[in-house]
Structure 1
């Protein structure tokens, strides 16, 4: 049995089929191979190869398990531990559609701060559902390695967690999965490595404490204060204040004491203590200070901050004085002798990134400028001392947990009505903001505190085997992974402009000596000249690699957190372009575990989404090559897709409507499957809807295979009702869905519908052409005129709600009178005729949009009927008229195109097929 890297100095170890006298010999052997690999110029051309010297890359790495550069041992890892894809081995698994509720108080989760993390306990549920022990699990955006933690913890979870999961998932197979982890950021993979390798915790704790106390002794002068009478007292906190210029008298306004006071809170407008003028803080300019920077060996100018308040660890407090300033000046000179990182921010001049702000970042050009001189001295002292330890990577993990958090000038001191005496509030998330009141904490105390947290985390993973593979590179270029070699994928990728990872990580990575190569970073970033189209392209490249390496018929789970519709649609488009088929989408509340599906209507949500999608098995793809463009191919896809969908989900005594089983989403998935494979769809929507009714069982507006419907019926009897999604009409399509829900429950007259419709309408999209209720009804529904047989939909409603109308024939006059003028949802056969009429109307309107720009008319569409554009794009695609799609797409607002998944799909495919450029 192979042992992971956690068996250091415990005798012979096996690794990738080789045996070594001890773990150190194993590391020496593979470091030698990695050092040779680093000399290969082609190796350095791998996408996302980080920026750093060979010495720094090798110092961080622990091959073959972890490399701070692309891992050249990945193929060996898969060959040794993986199992080849065997199409004869059955694999049947529905998407995971249960609630997941996990808080964020676990010691592994809380030990180290990072921008985004999914609790490993939540990921364990997906692994137990989709995989078996020994399966290879891929996370291409691994961050801090929580997927790796989850994979290894499946072998031996804490007793309480095991009992909880066993109760939720009785058929779960316990045993370690094998994580294959990638991230573009060296900081992220550094954390992930430390979280996935077991360690002798007691020995580490002793060494950590010894090293910290040695530095504490050396820096006692920097954090001590004596009033000449009492015993020297250690400084716990120093508050620094911005200094502004009075626009009236040009003298200094120290923000502390003028713009904010303890007990009183913030004062606005800010009074000048010299001339008495009152000024809005937002209009005040910073007082700049010029000083010699001993690290850059030149004079620089930055916004001035002064120490104003000091808190000691014995509880007493005082105003800052001249001695505090003298100590800080001495710290700057000594810090320069320890050679802390002095890299230019993002290797650029100002403005160096999207998180740069001209006011407080003025003159802040290099990494060391983000630290107060005493912070810089303490960090450099600790960093160098930890670096001399045999456990240097784990020791330095403690420092990286606060280097760009409470340990830099972004640490806020807040005074308000909730905190009248002030409190440390940490830095603002996802930015490098400098507050007007900066809380300089004692870095030795921080190291002690964070050390205890890291030790608790290490204790939780002490039983890990350490069998994993971790690589620092872009997921766009993982060509070294064999096809169909991965059993499951869990990813939490970057989402648009949410977080500028490479900018936020630059400080810590500069300390590590290894920095993100952000050329292939999938973000929306003005400084990098990356818009949403570039983001989508990069993400698609990653997902195509994931699709290639995933075994057919297996699953990818993606967590998504962005409330912007265009990014949500970019995700859907990228998944489809890569070849994946979405089978289920739920929103995930990490604290409450609540699940909704309103995003299907509105296209956006403020909660986290869990997207479940699968790679079609080889059988479907092979058959589709022969059946493409035929009705047989259509129904083959639908049957295969229905097998992959959840069958029943309930919550609080109510069954959920599974949107993916409703006719319109089944049709959307069918269209996407054909378009992304360049195949003409042989059926109209109306023909497809009619075919669904003929071939599959319908329950509560959802469609099931014959072998699935019995299970649904049985489980449906265990709940009282079905929960219909609630939403407000905001455009034509959502208005139609809203009316369908209304009229399915109760056929009604126009007079009954109209006031409800007016009340129900949400914020109608400003680009969407307003439609009258009468037009929506006439084009999508039927009205009973009181002649002939009463339609079944109306008959069922009337006989269920009026005793006197029960058991009457459909031609009964009293039934006719009661049902007259009621609008109702037509059955699929009659809906087909309506659909044809509606489509002709939409296409006539689309022709008007094509003409826009001719004869001197405005070339842009400001208000239009989105359904008409969709219908026109579909028809143009069927006729391979890609030029029309591209031309009309350029006439509609860019945000509308980016936020509509159907339009975006037609447009992207048209550009690709035409060989053109958007």
Structure 2
């Protein structure tokens, strides 16, 4: 394996980054020394997204050069030694690939460690195989728990059954067999806890030795604090081991003020479920939880030296084992004495006792102080704190540095489940990891689990997992820091797969703090790409941060190569922010797909209002020749057609799902126009062609099939697929604004030229619930008049109407176009104009739109209550061409922010206008 970052020869010496060391310990000591020197450099520590923590804590987490709990100084060395330099002459051609981002969630490697969100490595492997060759470099700057790095190794480690499955699926899709073999991965994340997980799952360790050491840890824990989890059996003599204890908050009755143990009174003892209502044990008043008042106690907290107010809790039920049998009991006096004894002992020093910093999740979303939690150790009942602190100390004291980190990797998995966040759920198989995901939520009845019950089985399970999937040393390098700054050369990465945070779905930094604080290294949330009202980060802030990250991705990706972005947010405004950020960074969107969970097939997204599930966005970085030619020619029509040629070559020629031929959405003429406009705007050039000039040029230059545009050399391939299909592909249209209403009418009238009375009922249905909130609804008559032609019954019947009538009505078959019967039947029908007349209508409509835009500019007041998006789009485009950025910004401020954010085109013009105004200031 001499081509890898890390090699080991027969004598036991280790080669790493071109340097030979006598052992792994020597290698680690050498690079830790270099990292220690780096950490003393203020400029190094001043990098954006540098984690918060001492030098000692960062070094303790790190295993350089493979992994650093800070920005990794060896990323550039990794690329220099083992990357493939960009070769403009290298022939490379790929089409977008749709993937199922949910596949593989039951795989053992995926389940080895929980993280808030992650795309399974088995869902990533097909993309890496498709877009890269063995030895290529893959990047993920939002890597979370490192699934992309695992996927890169899986391309070599995959078993034969999996390889056969992938090859069969590619064969069915008409794709060649992939080239198996490991790819190298550069992965990073802002969160130290995430990169620590990545490191422990991609850096090899002694698996048999780990299993032994973990059992030793559990045994040592039992020897130190095992007495805390002992309880007397029903015979009064035999000691059992507690699996978990259900604790209940204590409330007061609103009628008699008596204390009420919520679990004891409200839980059905047979089903273990909480009843909707129950009786007060003192006054028999009918009660519900909403009627109860929480009871608080004030007690001295020795850890912080002050009194704290906390909800009163009492143990209500104990689950324990004796001789392998499971039993339940109510706590007796012996149990209560042990609990009291534990509470009087100082908790271990390794348990964090720091004040919880201000954050959305604990100070706004869920007020932790209402639950008596102001410091980290308050998340744990005294017994759990002793158990966690003991296990942490035992893991941290292991003399083998690699073993120490993998043991901490396991112990930290008990932190959430052993906290007061762990809910009791009787319907569950086990009471482990029952906390509400994605939020700090303290339940009224919490389930305090023992360390053996929480993670006792993990040692053997992880040993089985990593004996089957053996990480390969040196194939991955891991960094902790912001994706806005990736220290590798330009044009050095072969492919990017990334699953960034989207909007305000998950507050990663807030949630990660509970574990990171144990390591003493926490996330710098300042550059976190998120919408967070508490930190005063709105959607525009999120968009600009994502744009900076995508710009860095664009810088390091080789020209002509691809990036896959997984999108997981149902809000159209966030989706548009992502699209604009991608385009401003220099990427071109080639395909957006979603998995239809019902049909099990992929569908292309045709509307920004149709974001209902996980989307996979395929974008590419245009080759350097396109950029160079644009700079040479400037805003010339030839530059527009140069872009079109490049873009069409990147798009799939056909899409077949379950044997059905589909529309390739990106080949729609107007979608191509939008991509071309974004390209010129991003490069600060005026758009060289009007809409009608562009569409007319497309018709004259390129063949069209089923409403899609192709290169001449592509159309024959499509025609073959079309001949094999049972029917012509149908585009899925969602009517949400004036533009999509025109598109729907075009599709409708092209198939069925109709009178106003025929169109109106179906058009009304389309103008239903999906209409944009602030968009003015146009009249059908106006849309028909401005965009279509009506046959007045004079002269020959137009071809479109003649074809429709003669095909669908047997009485009109074989009639000449000037036959009176045909003319009478065709009179007053609206139809789609032929290209030459369509151009005239477009020009007429454009003048009308710009005239109305002038009225928006002169409208009194600070806000426009209703407006037409088509007017705004036409006005913004014209103002951009005139470099009138002030008008764009002024009008944008007159419309609701929601309307601006939910329209990709307006957002693009506005954001660029702001950028230009700031640059000129």
TM category (shorter chain) comes to over 0.9
Instruction: Tell me, yes or no, if structure 1 residue 860 matches structure 2 residue 863.
Output: yes
Structure 1 residues 177 and 646: CA distance shift in structure 2, 3 A = same
- Mark the runs of 5 or more structure 1 residues left unpaired by the alignment: none
Q: How do residues 651-666 of structure 1 correspond to structure 2 at under 5 angstroms?
A: 651-666=657-672
Q: Secondary structure at the match of 2:695?
A: helix
Superimposed CA distance per residue, residues 831-860 of structure 1 (whole angstroms, 9 cap, x where no aligned partner): 22222222222223222222233xxxx311
**Contact 1:198/1:461 (CA < 8 Å) preserved in 2?**
no
**Contact 1:375/1:408 (CA < 8 Å) preserved in 2?**
yes
Q: Secondary structure at the match of 2:214?
A: helix
| C-alpha deviation, 1:388, in angstroms | 1.9
Structure 1 residues 552 and 384: CA distance shift in structure 2, 3 A = same
State the distance in 2 between where 1:642 and 1:606 align: 28
Instruction: Tell me, yes or no, if structure 1 residue 502 matches structure 2 residue 503.
Output: no
Aligned residues: 906
Q: 2:886 — aligned with what?
A: 883
**Contact 1:345/1:352 (CA < 8 Å) preserved in 2?**
no
| C-alpha deviation, 1:260, in angstroms | 4.0
| C-alpha deviation, 1:700, in angstroms | 1.1
Q: Secondary structure at the match of 2:871?
A: helix
Q: How do residues 673-692 of structure 1 correspond to structure 2 at under 5 angstroms?
A: 673-692=679-698
| C-alpha deviation, 1:200, in angstroms | 2.8
State the distance in 2 between where 1:753 and 1:603 align: 24
Instruction: Tell me, yes or no, if structure 1 residue 187 matches structure 2 residue 189.
Output: no
Q: 2:776 — aligned with what?
A: 769
Q: 1:15 — aligned with what?
A: 16
**Contact 1:743/1:825 (CA < 8 Å) preserved in 2?**
yes
Q: 1:341 — aligned with what?
A: 352
State the distance in 1 between where 2:87 and 2:516 align: 42
Q: 1:50 — aligned with what?
A: 51
Q: Secondary structure at the match of 1:643?
A: helix
Superimposed CA distance per residue, residues 321-379 of structure 1 (whole angstroms, 9 cap, x where no aligned partner): 34334333333444623431122223x4x877566523774431111111122221111
Structure 1 residues 328 and 6: CA distance shift in structure 2, 3 A = farther
Q: 1:810 — aligned with what?
A: 817
Instruction: Tell me, yes or no, if structure 1 residue 462 matches structure 2 residue 470.
Output: yes
**Contact 2:505/2:569 (CA < 8 Å) preserved in 1?**
yes
Q: 2:384 — aligned with what?
A: 375
- The alignment's TM-score, normalised by the length of structure 2, stands at 0.94
Q: 1:401 — aligned with what?
A: 413
| C-alpha deviation, 1:656, in angstroms | 1.3
Q: How do residues 724-743 of structure 1 correspond to structure 2 at under 5 angstroms?
A: 724-743=730-749
**Contact 2:101/2:119 (CA < 8 Å) preserved in 1?**
no
Q: 1:474 — aligned with what?
A: 482
State the distance in 2 between where 1:388 and 1:425 align: 26
- Mark the runs of 5 or more structure 2 residues left unpaired by the alignment: 171-175
Q: 2:583 — aligned with what?
A: 576
**Contact 2:360/2:532 (CA < 8 Å) preserved in 1?**
no
**Contact 1:579/1:676 (CA < 8 Å) preserved in 2?**
yes
Instruction: Tell me, yes or no, if structure 1 residue 636 matches structure 2 residue 642.
Output: yes
Structure 1 residues 110 and 351: CA distance shift in structure 2, 3 A = closer
Residue 221 (structure 1) aligned to one of 223, 227, 232 = 227
State the distance in 2 between where 1:748 and 1:14 align: 76
- Between 18-27 and 516-525, the greater mean CA deviation after superposition: 18-27
**Contact 2:71/2:480 (CA < 8 Å) preserved in 1?**
yes
| C-alpha deviation, 1:124, in angstroms | 0.9
| C-alpha deviation, 1:717, in angstroms | 2.5
| C-alpha deviation, 1:766, in angstroms | 2.7
**Contact 2:559/2:624 (CA < 8 Å) preserved in 1?**
yes
- The alignment's TM-score, normalised by the length of structure 1, stands at 0.94
**Contact 1:733/1:867 (CA < 8 Å) preserved in 2?**
yes
State the distance in 2 between where 1:641 and 1:341 align: 54
Superimposed CA distance per residue, residues 420-446 of structure 1 (whole angstroms, 9 cap, x where no aligned partner): x99767111110111112111222222
State the distance in 2 between where 1:203 and 1:95 align: 44
Q: Secondary structure at the match of 1:877?
A: helix
Structure 1 residues 770 and 679: CA distance shift in structure 2, 3 A = same
Q: 2:96 — aligned with what?
A: 95
| C-alpha deviation, 1:147, in angstroms | 0.6
**Contact 2:350/2:393 (CA < 8 Å) preserved in 1?**
no
Residue 568 (structure 2) aligned to one of 561, 568, 572 = 561
Q: 1:85 — aligned with what?
A: 86
Q: How do residues 595-674 of structure 1 correspond to structure 2 at under 5 angstroms?
A: 595-597=602-604, 599-674=605-680
**Contact 2:100/2:595 (CA < 8 Å) preserved in 1?**
yes
**Contact 1:629/1:681 (CA < 8 Å) preserved in 2?**
yes
| C-alpha deviation, 1:609, in angstroms | 0.7
Structure 1 residues 273 and 232: CA distance shift in structure 2, 3 A = same
Q: Secondary structure at the match of 1:585?
A: strand
Superimposed CA distance per residue, residues 654-676 of structure 1 (whole angstroms, 9 cap, x where no aligned partner): 11111110011111111111111
| C-alpha deviation, 1:109, in angstroms | 0.6
State the distance in 2 between where 1:351 and 1:608 align: 25
Instruction: Tell me, yes or no, if structure 1 residue 281 matches structure 2 residue 289.
Output: yes
Q: 2:906 — aligned with what?
A: 903
Structure 1 residues 715 and 401: CA distance shift in structure 2, 3 A = farther
| C-alpha deviation, 1:253, in angstroms | 3.0
Q: CA RMSD in A?
A: 2.4
Q: How do residues 228-307 of structure 1 correspond to structure 2 at under 5 angstroms?
A: 229-262=236-269, 263=271, 265-268=273-276, 271-278=279-286, 281-282=289-290, 284-307=292-315
Structure 1 residues 579 and 281: CA distance shift in structure 2, 3 A = same
Structure 1 residues 334 and 917: CA distance shift in structure 2, 3 A = farther
Structure 1 residues 278 and 775: CA distance shift in structure 2, 3 A = farther
**Contact 2:529/2:546 (CA < 8 Å) preserved in 1?**
yes
Q: 2:715 — aligned with what?
A: 709
Q: How do residues 741-756 of structure 1 correspond to structure 2 at under 5 angstroms?
A: 741-756=747-762
Residue 499 (structure 2) aligned to one of 492, 497, 511 = 492
| C-alpha deviation, 1:827, in angstroms | 2.6
Q: Secondary structure at the match of 2:68?
A: coil
Superimposed CA distance per residue, residues 382-434 of structure 1 (whole angstroms, 9 cap, x where no aligned partner): 11111122201111111222322x2221111136xx78x99767111110111
Structure 1 residues 806 and 591: CA distance shift in structure 2, 3 A = closer
State the distance in 2 between where 1:117 and 1:592 align: 23
Q: 1:721 — aligned with what?
A: 727
Q: 1:444 — aligned with what?
A: 452
Q: Secondary structure at the match of 2:850?
A: helix
Q: 2:338 — aligned with what?
A: 327
**Contact 1:139/1:490 (CA < 8 Å) preserved in 2?**
yes
| C-alpha deviation, 1:282, in angstroms | 4.0
| C-alpha deviation, 1:255, in angstroms | 2.0
| C-alpha deviation, 1:97, in angstroms | 3.8
| C-alpha deviation, 1:734, in angstroms | 2.4
Q: Secondary structure at the match of 2:448?
A: strand
Structure 1 residues 709 and 690: CA distance shift in structure 2, 3 A = same
**Contact 2:361/2:439 (CA < 8 Å) preserved in 1?**
no
**Contact 2:186/2:478 (CA < 8 Å) preserved in 1?**
yes
Instruction: Tell me, yes or no, if structure 1 residue 914 matches structure 2 residue 917.
Output: yes
State the distance in 1 between where 2:56 and 2:147 align: 28
Superimposed CA distance per residue, residues 154-188 of structure 1 (whole angstroms, 9 cap, x where no aligned partner): 11311211111122233311111110111110000
**Contact 2:102/2:119 (CA < 8 Å) preserved in 1?**
no
Q: 1:822 — aligned with what?
A: 829
Structure 1 residues 354 and 459: CA distance shift in structure 2, 3 A = farther
**Contact 1:355/1:503 (CA < 8 Å) preserved in 2?**
no
- Between 76-85 and 352-361, the greater mean CA deviation after superposition: 352-361
- Between 207-216 and 813-822, the greater mean CA deviation after superposition: 813-822
**Contact 2:246/2:448 (CA < 8 Å) preserved in 1?**
yes
**Contact 2:668/2:708 (CA < 8 Å) preserved in 1?**
yes
State the distance in 2 between where 1:354 and 1:610 align: 34
Structure 1 residues 806 and 435: CA distance shift in structure 2, 3 A = same
Instruction: Tell me, yes or no, if structure 1 residue 37 matches structure 2 residue 5.
Output: no
| C-alpha deviation, 1:204, in angstroms | 1.5
State the distance in 2 between where 1:398 and 1:72 align: 27
**Contact 2:361/2:511 (CA < 8 Å) preserved in 1?**
no
Q: 1:24 — aligned with what?
A: 25
Residue 329 (structure 2) aligned to one of 311, 315, 318 = 318
